[in-house]
Amino acid sequence: MAIIEVGDLSKTFTVPVREQGLRASVRSLVHREMKEVTAVDSVSFTIEAGEVVGFLGPNGAGKTTTLKMLSGLLHPTGGRCSVLGFEPKGRPSALLRQITLVMGNRNQLQWDLPALDSFELNRAIYRIPRADFVATRDELIELLDIGTLVTQPVRNLSLGERMKMEIADALLHRPQVLFLDEPTIGLDITMQRRIRSFVADYNTRYGATVILTSHYMADVQALCKRVIVIHHGRLVFDGDLTALSDRFTTQRTIRARLADGEEITILAARADTASATARLLAEHDVVDLTIEDPPIDDVIEQVFADAHDAP
C-alpha cells in the first residue's frame, strides 16, 4: 500500500533580487525586483509502507524542500502529494500525530533543561497515555543508549549525544512516517553508525516508512535499498541502489592477486567485464580476484554530472 504519493509536485519561491551597492539599495526602496526560483520541478514518486528510501542530491537540489512539503511545512505551488492519505499542506492534526521530521542541523530541545523534561512536554502535546509514553521512552532510551544523558541539561551534551536526544524526542509518539533530513550531519563515524543502526532497528520493529536525506553515502548504503535522486529540482533516478550503479557507471574495477604476490588492477567497460576477467585468468596465475563497482560516491557524482550536462 502506498503511504506516500507524489504527483508532479512543484515548488517555486519568489525571491527579491538586488545588486550590490548604495545605488541599488536606494533603487530597491522604490522598485523591488523579484524573480522566481524553482526548487522542485514536477517530481513524482510513490513510497510503500515500511520502505526506507534514500533521497539524494547535491546542496540546493530540492530534497529538503520536498521533505518540507511532505511534512506540511511548505505549501506546494503545483502538483499534489498525500501522506498516509492526508494532504499535508493543511497540516491536519491526525497526520502530524503520525509523522515526524528530524533535521540534523536543528535543535528543538530546550537548551537549559534535561531532555526528560522535553519528553514530558511532548507527552502532553501528543496526548500519549502515560503507560505508552513510559514504555516508548524507556525503549528509546535503551535503543539509543542515552540512559545516563537524559537527566543532563542539553547544553552539556556533545553534538552526537544531542542528536540522539532529538531523535528520541521526535519518536516518542511512535510516528509511522519518518522524514530524516541529514540526521548524521557533523557526527563522528561511531555516532553515525549508531544512528544508522537505530533507524534500521526502528524500521524493523515498527514497520515505519523512512525517507532519509544524507550526504554520507554510508548512511544510504546501510539503510536504503531504494534511492531517489533529485537534481535542480528534477527527479533523475528512482530505483534500487544497485541499479543506480548499473545505469550511471560505464566501468568496473577488476583486482587480481597473483601467485607471485603481484597485484593487478584493470578498469574494464561494464559490458566487457566477463571477457576481461576470463582473459586475466587465462594469462596469469591468479590466487584472488575481486570485481567492484565504483564507490557509490563516485556513482552519485557521475549522476549529478550527467544531470548537469543534460539539456
Partner 1 sequence: MIALYAAHMRYSVLQQFQYRAANYFYMIGMIAEPVVYLVVWSTIARAHGGSIDGLTPGGFAAYYIVWTLVRNMNIVLTPFAWEERIKDGTFAGQLMKPVHPIHEDIAGFMGWKLVVLLLWVPIAIVLVLLFRPTLSPTLLQGVVFFFAIWGAYLIRAIMQWSLGLITFWTTRVAAIFEAYYLSEMLLSGRVFPLVLMPKWFQTLTWYFPFRWSFSFPIVALTGPIEDRDLFIGLGMQVAWILFGIGVLSLVWPRAVRRFSSVGG
Residue 74 CB, shortest distance to partner 1, in Å, is 6
Query: Amino acid identity of 2?
Result: A
The set of cell numbers assigned to 270 is 561494464
Closer CB to partner 1, 1 or 94, in the complex: 94
Smallest gap from Cβ 96 to partner 1, in A, equals: 4
Q: Give the binding site for partner 1 (CB under 8 A).
A: 13, 68, 71-75, 91, 93-94, 96-97, 99-101, 103, 105-108, 110, 112-113, 117-118, 120-121, 123-127
Please, which residue, 187 or 244, has the CB nearer to partner 1? Answer: 187
Nearer to partner 1, 73 or 291 (CB): 73
Q: How far is the CB of 206 from partner 1 (least distance, A)?
A: 19
- Shorter beta-carbon distance to partner 1: residue 164 or 173: 173
SS3 at position 76: coil
Within 13 Å and on the Cβ side, how many CA atoms surround 150? Answer: 20
Q: How far is the CB of 91 from partner 1 (least distance, A)?
A: 7
Edge-first strand order for the sheet with 78-83 is 33-48, 2-17, 78-83
Q: Exposure string (b/e) for 65-78, b if CB count within 10 Å is 16 or more? A: bbbbbbbbebebbe
Residue 154 or 307 with smaller CB distance to partner 1 = 154
Determine how β-strand 251-258 pairs with β-strand 286-292: antiparallel
- Of 202, 199, 194, the C-alpha closest to 180 is 199
CB 36 within 8 Å of CB 115: no
CB of 309 to partner 1, least distance (A): 30
